[in-house]
Structure 1
């Protein structure tokens, strides 16, 4: 990962860098932030939907990034995406379903 992610002088990220940032660095930073500012138990209860939302989205991203799929992968993707959609409604108060959200519902069928 580049040291100065998000700055103009750093330029654009490659897809592998986006994947690394999204699936490794951001979840760890999020959990560290939860632990740092209050007790772990209190934050886990308060931010359970946020954490579930992030984990489901990462799960979907990791499945899509696979070079080959097993028979269980479309099922896992569908379960994660459904939970991601439900938790998005809780986490984001002004959540709107966009065409890309709808298209993602068809990904499991394309994986089979």
Structure 2
């Protein structure tokens, strides 16, 4: 009788296996979000956009003349930065869901 009383907490059944399954599902979901391709692509584009944009800010006059008066590195860096930020925003607004756990059927 005491064993049955230990299983109930607050009037609800408590099963430690359910807790372990939920913890494993949360860990799997966190791993899926961590390795989301949108995060990788967004991070790389933001980093390269900053680097190329900073190079465009400090272009010499010879480099500007080579691009026919256009600060091409500055514009390319800005586009890369915006694209990377959009990828990160998309990943933030629509996070990936972990795929359902497969049952072995055994």
TM-score class, shorter-chain normalisation, is 0.3 to 0.5
TM-score by length of 1: 0.35
Query: Which has the higher Rg, Structure 1 or Structure 2?
Result: 2
